[in-house]
Structure 1
Amino acid sequence: MAFNGYASPGWGHRDAILPANMTLNNSQRFAIDWKQANDHGDFYAGDRTRNESYVDYGSPIYAVADGTVTSTLDGVEANVPGILPASDPVLAATLTIDNVDGNHIIMDIGSGIYAMYAHLVRGSLLVKPGDKVKKGQQIAALGNTGNSSASHLHFQLMDGPSLGEADGVPYVLDSFDYQGQIGEAAVWDADNYLSGSFFGSQRLPAPEQRTNQLPVLLALVNFPQN
């Protein structure tokens, strides 16, 4: 599910404008928080306060393109699901521009474009600054670190290597199967654990193949298996 995705105002990424060096930047303008569910539309099974209960926690993360790693962070501890650090006075005080996206990887993928993968599991990073990476290579595992209330992959492209001093770059995905839209009300009505099934009547009876497109906010998609 494409949470906090492109196009709709009032969601976290589109409005995340940062002032830096006398300019206003939004490196997250086209970012998506990818959250995986099981076949029933559930994000977790069992104890919802344990990261390991979530379907996607620990899933492998792959590079979207050939590139060179420019920076990484790999020392942030996992959050307890259901608690967004920015909403907790004690935890909010620990957030900085450097750790707000948790453990992360930034890669130079050429032509002045940088890819960022965020909220990764501590100790899961398989690359370091200076490493050359191939498209499809596993680089880390999906986690719940930084300003995150549940495991997910934050992905974005930007026109510089710094989260605070770059602007977002639009992009498309080679291919995916589109399966409908999740209603915004279903998300707003969910608790901080994102409990409940989100598929409901919004799921198409059969997936529709899409190529060279960017899924919009709350799109439900499947990716081809390698």
Structure 2
Amino acid sequence: MAVELVLPFTGRWLTQNSPARRVPSHGTDLLGERYAIDFVAVDERGRTSGTHDWRTLLATEPPERFVGFGRPVLAPAGGTVVTVHDGEPDHEARRSQLALVPYALGQAGRLRSGVPAIAGNHVVIALPGGQGFVALVHLRRGSIGVATGDAVTTGQPIATCGNSGNSTEPHVHLQVMDSADLAVARGVPMVFRRYREELRGGEVRVRDQGLPAERAVVEPLPATA
């Protein structure tokens, strides 16, 4: 049975690596990622960054260029914080194929380095009733505002979006798992409630519950009375 969450942000975000497209969504079952989903903040024109220059084409770029960097990340459900990891750097972003190729070649080394090298700064929340654990990953260094043992409520700010760990540009990676330990966790299906979804072809729909489509731009909606 899928765990129901709310989207962990405000504003417009582009959906990537959605389990609505394929499972495993990220091409692997490692680290509890089977049903994981990514969200990249976009502006009113659907751009992840308003800057496009020679660095975009040939090199790396500072994460501050991107719409999502530093945007609030909210608790997608109430629960208890069981893991907080901070201190990983927010590294340069990569849209250039020239920069992406060597980065991809370093993937095996990051896996060998363990969870922090992949997840970066992250928070894990234990959901009530034994539903599992939700992880929010790639957070900005120094932005985490909760501690292990804290009770959090749905929609509570817990950190800001960063580019730490295995991330090519600032985004929020979210997953539900059967264990708080990402090294051994298995992924658990999830759905989101009350959001607006703009599909790639321009169709707009309001979902009371669902899983965002790949490359859809989503925006959370207030809960109904």
TM-score normalized with structure 1 length: 0.78
Aligned match of 1:212:
209
Aligned match of 2:18:
5
Residues in 2 aligned to 1:104 and 1:42: alpha-carbon distance in whole angstroms = 25
Offset of residue 94 of structure 1: 4.9
Aligned match of 1:40:
45
CA RMSD of aligned residues (A): 2.3
Aligned match of 1:203:
202
What does the per-residue CA deviation read over 1:5-31, in whole Å, with 9 as the maximum and x for residues that have no partner?
Answer: 114349762x2123xxxxxxx611111
**Pairing 1:121-136 to 2, within 5 Å after superposition:** 121-136=140-155
Distance 1:7 1:65, change over 3 A: closer
Question: What's the secondary structure of 1:146's corresponding residue?
Answer: coil
Residues in 2 aligned to 1:213 and 1:94: alpha-carbon distance in whole angstroms = 33
Aligned match of 1:55:
67
Aligned length: 195
Aligned match of 1:221:
218
Q: Which runs of 5+ in 1 are unaligned?
A: 19-25, 182-201
Aligned match of 1:87:
104
> Given residue 206 of structure 2, which amino acid in structure 1 is its aligned partner?
Q
Residues in 1 aligned to 2:166 and 2:79: alpha-carbon distance in whole angstroms = 26
**Pairing 1:156-171 to 2, within 5 Å after superposition:** 156-171=175-190
Query: 2:122 matched to 1:104?
Result: yes
Offset of residue 224 of structure 1: 2.5
Offset of residue 128 of structure 1: 1.2
Residues in 2 aligned to 1:9 and 1:133: alpha-carbon distance in whole angstroms = 31
Pairing partner for 2:29 from 17, 20, 26: 17
Question: What's the secondary structure of 2:190's corresponding residue?
Answer: coil
Question: What's the secondary structure of 1:172's corresponding residue?
Answer: strand
Q: Which runs of 5+ in 2 are unaligned?
A: 1-13
Aligned match of 2:8:
none
Greater helix share, structure number: 2
Residues in 2 aligned to 1:225 and 1:125: alpha-carbon distance in whole angstroms = 25
Q: Runs of 4 or more off by more than 3 Å in structure 1?
A: 7-12, 83-86, 91-95
Aligned match of 2:5:
none
> Given residue 115 of structure 2, which amino acid in structure 1 is its aligned partner?
D
Offset of residue 122 of structure 1: 0.2
Offset of residue 158 of structure 1: 0.9
Offset of residue 215 of structure 1: 1.2
**Pairing 1:182-201 to 2, within 5 Å after superposition:** none
Offset of residue 164 of structure 1: 2.3
TM-score normalized with structure 2 length: 0.78
Question: What's the secondary structure of 2:32's corresponding residue?
Answer: coil
Identical-pair percentage: 32
> Given residue 164 of structure 2, which amino acid in structure 1 is its aligned partner?
T
> Given residue 140 of structure 1, which amino acid in structure 2 is its aligned partner?
A
Question: What's the secondary structure of 2:162's corresponding residue?
Answer: coil
Distance 1:124 1:157, change over 3 A: same
